[in-house]
Every structure is written in C-alpha cells, then in structure tokens.
C-alpha cells in the first residue's frame, strides 16, 4: 500500500509540474515573472537614492565635508586622478555616472555589486569588492559635491 501511495504521489507531482497539454512551453515559462517586475537599467543604480538635486554653484561647505570624508574613508583605495589603485580613480566620475548611481554605490554597495551591471563590471575590472564604509546619505551627498568640485578642477 505504501508503494502505491508513493507512486501515486510521484505521478501527481510529475503531472502538476509538467508543461501544458497544448505544447506551448513558453506560456508557462513566461508567466513566472511578469514584465512589470523587470526594471530597466536607468543608470541610477539600485538603492534608496532615486533623485538628486545638484547645486549650482557648488556648496563649498559640502565640498569641504566631502573632502574630509574622502580622506578618511576613500583615499586608501581611490585616487582623485584617473589612476587606479585598489579601486578606480575618481577623475571624471561625475561625467561617467549619474549622481544617483554614485550615491547608491557609496551607500548601498552590497546590493549594487549584486544587481547593478556597471558596478559588476567595475568589480570584474578591479577584482576587489568595495567594502561597506557605512556612509550616511547626507555624507554621500557631501562626497558627491566634492566629486563635482574635483571634476571641475578646483
């Protein structure tokens, strides 16, 4: 009796997991993940920051705070020139990346490295995973202001 119930269970499991009887295998495969869940890459990265209002002219107090944070948390691995040390150089980063991407990379590095194609490409290039420096959103905004100042050559 146990063998019969076990066989019946296996048969039911195989039947319920099988494709549709009309031979349309794509129908069941396409229904697994609706197209609305797939997010297009908008260049802003993955994270809490979705919109950044830039200052024009730059806020010099933010630039100074950003420099201090860079010196303390970033300078061991990143130069302000194009030179790559452990991580890529920061020269021109504000031309290559959207401000939201930069801030998301600073504040949400683990998820960015898991889900963002540009962050993954940098990881493949540098072969070193950026550590989470526990930078707040406010501090990341100061760093961003500093990056814009650096890219303007001031």
Count of the separate structural domains present in the chain = 1
Whole-angstrom Cα distance, residue 29 to residue 19? 9
**Within its chain, how far is the Cα of 47 from the centroid?**
7
Beta bridge partners of 74: none
Give the domain CATH number at 93.
1.10.760.10
Q: Tell me if 116 is assigned to some domain.
A: yes
- pTM score, whole prediction: 0.74
pLDDT at site 41: 85
Q: Tell me if 79 is assigned to some domain.
A: yes
The helix or strand, by DSSP H or E, that contains position 112, with its residue range, turns out to be helix 109-115
Full domain range(s) for residue 84: 60-151
**Tokens (6 digits) for 39:** 């997010």
Q: Tell me if 23 is assigned to some domain.
A: no
pLDDT at site 43: 96
Q: List CB contacts of 97: < 8 A, sequence separation 6 or more.
A: 43, 105, 118
Q: Tell me if 99 is assigned to some domain.
A: yes
pLDDT at site 74: 97
pLDDT at site 37: 54
Q: Tell me if 42 is assigned to some domain.
A: no
pLDDT at site 12: 42
Q: Tell me if 22 is assigned to some domain.
A: no
**Within its chain, how far is the Cα of 103 from the centroid?**
10
Regions of the chain where pLDDT drops below 70:
1-39, 154
């Amino acid at each position: 009796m146990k063998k019969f119930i076990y066989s019946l269970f296996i048969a039911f499991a195989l039947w319920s997991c099988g494709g549709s009887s009309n031979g349309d295998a794509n129908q069941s495969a396409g229904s697994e993940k609706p197209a609305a869940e797939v997010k297009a890459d908008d260049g802003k990265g993955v994270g809490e920051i979705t919109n950044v209002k830039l200052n024009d002219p730059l806020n010099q107090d933010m630039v100074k705070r950003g420099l201090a944070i860079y010196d303390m948390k970033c300078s061991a691995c990143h130069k302000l020139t194009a030179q790559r040390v452990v991580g890529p150089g920061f020269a021109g980063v504000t031309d290559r990346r959207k401000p939201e991407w930069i801030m998301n990379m600073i504040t949400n590095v683990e998820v960015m490295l898991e889900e963002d194609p540009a962050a993954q490409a940098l990881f493949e290039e540098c072969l070193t995973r950026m550590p989470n420096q526990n930078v707040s959103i406010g501090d990341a905004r100061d760093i961003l202001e500093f990056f814009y100042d650096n890219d303007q050559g001031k």
